[in-house]
Structure 1
Amino acid sequence: MKNNTTLLVTCCTVFLAQLGMSIYLPALPEIAHGLAAEASQVSWGLAVYLIGMALPMLFWGSLAQHIGRKPVLLAALGVFGLGNLALPLGSTLESFLVLRLLQGVGASGISVMARVLIRDSFSGDLLAKAFSWLSISFVVALGIGQYLGSIIQVALGWPAIFYLLGGVSLTMAVVVARITFAPRFEENARLTTWPSYWQILRHRDFLLPALAGGLGYGVIIAFNTAAPLILQGPFNWSPVEYGLLGWPISAAYFLGALGVNSLVLRTGRHWLMKIGVGLVLAGSAVMLLGSVAGTSIALLFWLPYCFAVFGQSLNYPISLSLANDGAPVGGAYAMALSGFIHQLMAAAIGAIASLIATAQAWPLSLLCTLLALGAMICVMRARLNARP
């Protein structure tokens, strides 16, 4: 019963953290107009958010190991909530980006603690299955976030997006304060923070699955960064039309996460992970072919991306569980380090996507294809490494 409560709470908190990534995207052109800035400059808000998520992850993990999971989760929810409430009060691009960074710092702690709490409660294939529920939360936020953001923007204006997210975050903190979580595991508790992280990072069985998950995640980050400018530019989509795209994307990720949930105990993790990364590569390659052909049909741009999203939803929870099982040091360290690697990669990929963002789709499609190819290489090497 306590494990089920932990799973529910972590899914809700991950949902909030991921909303911070996607809920404002349909309003990006309106935000740019309100800040008297270029849309391409405001698109840096996603990369800055990801930087904020990446940089303090090791700190959050160390803090959780020393003072406990619950106080750290409460602090992270507080930072995230206040950052959202403060953001609409700024009137410049600089204030927008600074507060997006603060939001990311709070989301960082939420993300780390969700993984650590799941890791405290499950192990092995059951850990992959539990992580698939986090993936479902991620994708529901991805789809509902875009659609909800577009509706709030049209009805109340873009500042209401952040006010709503901040208020819900602080309410969630009140709920978490009343919950008692399962006792944590304390493997290698005597090891100090930085030697622990260094020992894990050097371990091949941890690093390869973590890199595979991060590169696949980068495909989603790159698309979220550049796609609004493409679809609301040359394809002339409205914010609501772009928001509706979240539904097929959500359906793809949801089906993949359900696939992990129902199949991983029967098929094993390595096989399912290989299939997932293969789909990411195939979807990205079709996007690239359609973009190079110069087609004006938007379906040939976003539909292959949905197949890539389906593949990543297979890949990501398995990569997290394999990385955790392959780590030589337990506790909160492995989960914090994998999160740090993923968010650092996502921040770098988001920055690259912002720099190459144009009205043409082929630079984004090429970036996604290269990322997927890198993930496939990692998976193949990890599979070979796993053989007796």
Structure 2
Amino acid sequence: MSVEAAAIDGKPVRLTGKPLIFFLTLLAALGMLATNMYLASFPSIGRDLAASPAQVKLTLTVFLLGFAFGQLVIGPLSDMLGRRPLLLAGLIVYAITSVLCAIATHIDWMIGIRIVQAVGACTGSVIARAVARDLFQGDALTRSLAMITTLVAVAPGFSPLLGGIIETLVGWRGTFAFLALVGAFAAAVVWLRIPETHDARDSAPKLGEAFASYFELLGTRAFLVPGLSIACAMAGLFAFFASAPIIFIEHFGVAPIVFGTIPCFTVFAVFAGGFSAPRLAKRWSGMKPILFGLTIMLIGASAMFTAAYLNYAGMPQVLATLMIFLFGMGIVSPLSTVVAMRPFPEKAGAVSALIGFCQMAGGALGTILLSLLPFPLLQALPTVMAGGAIIGLGAVLLFGKRS
């Protein structure tokens, strides 16, 4: 059914083609928007709500935890109940909780609301991938998931800048008001343009069975190898986000307003990798494109570490080696998502949820390791990046061919 087609029997008109892909990208990016856009507002939130820096950071921590674990419930529920009703409910929750954050008068209130907001956000992320798996097959699935994953990876490059602009113009409450508008817009599009894409039969796994299937999937090489590759890629990416302000502002002396533009440039490397991913998948079969991407990641991380160890790590060298790493990550992340989802069409929701959990768990582990390593930050960052690439390479080389 085309976008222009009339509704039949009161059913929504289906989006198709690029409009559908871009909308699924918006759904998948809701979590990134809710975590990155308000980072520049931490000081003003602390002042307005009389909160300590640790309390303000807790609003981010509880969101990440709610997002990670919420996916494990939302995925199988979407297999049981269908995509559309759960997606509508999640978007409404996201919009309402964003409004409640915008009018919050106490930090404890905001911390509690952020947990619920994370559940709404992860609904969009999980179901976006599941809908793509429902609607696309073969090369079309590879292209669609590659584009969605790549565009979502680009979001952290621009969302802090957008959040900083809103903070400057109207304050931190305006950022959450903007998120509420995004959630309301997405809910309206789902209501009007997105029909159900999954036939929730009685044979769909029950919630308890779905949790058991997580352990089954983690014990299956067909999922574990690409899932581990995703986690390793995200470890390096989140380690970069966590260390970037210190490296560029404190170490290199970049002005904060200039720093806000740096991610806008580095994400083009991610986009270039994602653009290359489906083309590499056509040329090489199996895990070879992922192996290539992990190798590029290792080259970039090793070059950064070598430059830092030799005291030759100026800002041009750091940016150049970082973009090499991010190019490889842009290949690994979307193709690993495709490889992980393709063998399990009947469990698309659960697989999508577990992929999202791997992303968040890998990212969290990367930031934790970054703070624990007894090295200068310019050496610790490439160590985490290289370590993730090596683990991913080992998994693919040892088990990838038999997965």
With structure 1 as the length reference, what TM-score do the two structures score?
Answer: 0.87
Aligned with 2:390 (options 368, 373, 381): 373
Aligned to 1:275: 292
| Unaligned 5+ runs, structure 2 | 3-13
Deviation of the 1:372 alpha carbon: 2.1
2:297 is equivalent to residue 258 of structure 1: no
Q: What do the CA deviations read for 1:100-128 (whole angstroms, capped 9, x no partner)?
A: 43332222111100110001011233322
Aligned with 1:20 (options 17, 24, 34): 34
Structure 1 pair 50–263 and aligned structure 2 pair: CA distance change class (3 A):
same
Q: Which stretch has the larger CA shift, 40-49 or 135-144?
A: 40-49
Q: What do the CA deviations read for 1:164-219 (whole angstroms, capped 9, x no partner)?
A: 12222122112211123363267993543233333322211111111111110121
Counterpart-to-counterpart distance in 2, 1:33 and 1:264: 50
For residues 349-360 of structure 1, the aligned pairs below 5 Å read: 349-353=366-370, 360=377
Aligned with 1:346 (options 351, 355, 363): 363
Counterpart-to-counterpart distance in 2, 1:88 and 1:158: 8
SS in 1 for 2:139: helix
Aligned to 2:303: 286
For residues 193-342 of structure 1, the aligned pairs below 5 Å read: 193-294=210-311, 297-327=314-344, 330-342=347-359
Counterpart-to-counterpart distance in 1, 2:350 and 2:274: 25
Aligned to 1:76: 90
Counterpart-to-counterpart distance in 1, 2:106 and 2:324: 38
Q: Which stretch has the larger CA shift, 357-366 or 240-249?
A: 357-366
Counterpart-to-counterpart distance in 1, 2:321 and 2:308: 11
2:121 is equivalent to residue 104 of structure 1: no
For residues 87-236 of structure 1, the aligned pairs below 5 Å read: 87-90=101-104, 94-95=108-109, 97-181=111-195, 183-184=197-198, 189-192=203-206, 193-236=210-253
8 Å CA contact 1:27–1:239 kept in 2: the answer is: no
Counterpart-to-counterpart distance in 2, 1:321 and 1:158: 37
Deviation of the 1:259 alpha carbon: 1.0
Q: Which stretch has the larger CA shift, 63-72 or 40-49?
A: 40-49
8 Å CA contact 2:51–2:107 kept in 1: the answer is: yes
Bigger Cα Rg: 2
Number of paired residues?
386
Counterpart-to-counterpart distance in 1, 2:218 and 2:363: 18
Deviation of the 1:244 alpha carbon: 0.4
Structure 1 pair 125–188 and aligned structure 2 pair: CA distance change class (3 A):
farther
8 Å CA contact 1:324–1:334 kept in 2: the answer is: yes
For the aligned residue pairs, the C-alpha RMSD in angstroms reads 3.0
Q: What do the CA deviations read for 1:317-358 (whole angstroms, capped 9, x no partner)?
A: 111111123449534222222222322333343444466699
Counterpart-to-counterpart distance in 1, 2:132 and 2:396: 24
Q: What do the CA deviations read for 1:288-327 (whole angstroms, capped 9, x no partner)?
A: 2333344572233333222211111111111111112344
SS in 1 for 2:29: helix
Q: Percent identity?
A: 25
Deviation of the 1:268 alpha carbon: 3.4
SS in 2 for 1:55: helix
Aligned to 2:7: none
Structure 1 pair 334–21 and aligned structure 2 pair: CA distance change class (3 A):
same
Counterpart-to-counterpart distance in 2, 1:346 and 1:324: 20
Q: Which stretch has the larger CA shift, 133-142 or 243-252?
A: 133-142
One-letter amino acid matched to 1:302: L
Structure 1 pair 15–198 and aligned structure 2 pair: CA distance change class (3 A):
closer
Counterpart-to-counterpart distance in 1, 2:112 and 2:366: 19
SS in 2 for 1:320: helix
Structure 1 pair 118–235 and aligned structure 2 pair: CA distance change class (3 A):
same
Counterpart-to-counterpart distance in 2, 1:355 and 1:37: 27
8 Å CA contact 2:293–2:332 kept in 1: the answer is: yes
Counterpart-to-counterpart distance in 2, 1:237 and 1:117: 42
Counterpart-to-counterpart distance in 1, 2:126 and 2:185: 20
SS in 1 for 2:203: coil
8 Å CA contact 1:81–1:169 kept in 2: the answer is: yes
Counterpart-to-counterpart distance in 1, 2:195 and 2:262: 37
